[in-house]
Amino acid sequence: MASSSSSEGEGRRAWVPLASRPEFAGVTPLPQDDGPSPVVAIAYRDDFRETMDYFRSLYSSRELSPRSLLLTSLAISVNPANYTVWHFRRQVLEALGADWTEELGFTEGVAKRNAKNYQLWHHRRWVAEKLGPDAASRELEFTRKIFCLDAKNYHAWSHRQWVLQALGGWEDELDYCAQLLEEDVFNNSAWNQRYFVITKSPSLGGLNAMRDSEVDYAIEAIHANPENESPWRYLRGLYNDENEAWLNDSRVHSACLRVLKAKRNFKFALSTLLDLLGLGFKPNQEIKDAITSLRTSDLGEAGSDSDLANSICSILGLEDPMRANYWTWRKQQASSSS
């Protein structure tokens, strides 16, 4: 059987025509049928055309052989998004009794050049499933390598979450999220992963058990960078649908007040207070005064809580012009509900 990793390397070396290679002797190429008069004939490269002609021949005859495996490597090297090639490769691997660890090595080679390829990640998961829990540590390390190149690679994050749930490896995941956030507290993917861990990990006890310490964690991040939307969203998510807990947690109100008093980067503090007001929050005078101090002279004075909501929307309309229409709509909603 041809080595998976060495097969992948075939695609990187200088092209050798398949017609001159002994392993493909006896294969009759099957050209692509574009019809008698194609409107716009695609100018395929010679290596691509030959590779796919040979692939069609072996695929149509369902030849599950070492040279078919080699050919899928070559076909993937010229077009890594061809799902039919990946599908056939899996059939060949099954038939040949593949070395699944070696196949992981093949996918790593492809990922170096195509880390956002859907077919690659689907194939990688299929191989990892074959290996079971023994593959967990390697898969987690593989995604770490991807994140060093692209910290927000959606495919890698999705794969990592699948690995944790299907194969295990939760033990160090919360620490890993903390490490990523120490490196870049604006990494919204790491915030999302942290929430995934505290809600899904079988060893942490769930959201209720983790909420208290995680609220402190989020608020610390907010105080350091109040302009960072991620910890604000994370903080809200910690209460899920438990609005009473969110309304009654003085740490949330205090965090908003502290940011308002600083009179800079207060956009998310105001939007948080606006959401709380919509749920029946009764702000104290200190919060009201802090909001009033942010108002421009042409906005008038705030009286009732509905006036306070209107004031917040007016301020946000000026501070967040990109979403000015949204804040106008929120003001209308606040007025209609008062």
Q: Which pair of tokens denotes residue 206?
A: 């769930």
- For 238, residues 6+ apart whose C-beta sits below 8 A from its C-beta are 207, 211, 214, 215, 218
Write down the H helix ranges in 201-284. Answer: 207-224, 229-237, 243-248, 250-262, 267-278
The DSSP 8-state label assigned to residue 241 in this structure reads T
Q: Which pair of tokens denotes residue 173?
A: 């995941």
- Specify the DSSP element, H or E, that contains 55: helix 46-60
Cα–Cα distances in angstroms (integers) from residue 46 to residues 26, 53, 316, in the given order:
20, 11, 59
Is 261 assigned a catalytic role? no
Do 194 and 230 form a contact (C-beta atoms < 8 A)?
Answer: no
The DSSP 8-state label assigned to residue 322 in this structure reads G
Do 67 and 58 form a contact (C-beta atoms < 8 A)?
Answer: yes
- Specify the DSSP element, H or E, that contains 96: helix 83-96
The DSSP 8-state label assigned to residue 113 in this structure reads T
Please provide the size of the chain in residues. 338
Active-site residue identified among 112, 116, 145, 152: 116
Q: Which pair of tokens denotes residue 179?
A: 């490490």
Cα–Cα distances in angstroms (integers) from residue 156 to residues 63, 72, 140, 242, 247, in the given order:
33, 23, 9, 31, 36
Q: Which pair of tokens denotes residue 153?
A: 């690679």
Do 99 and 4 form a contact (C-beta atoms < 8 A)?
Answer: yes
For 93, list phi and psi in degrees, rounded to 5: -60, -45
- Catalytically active residues are 116
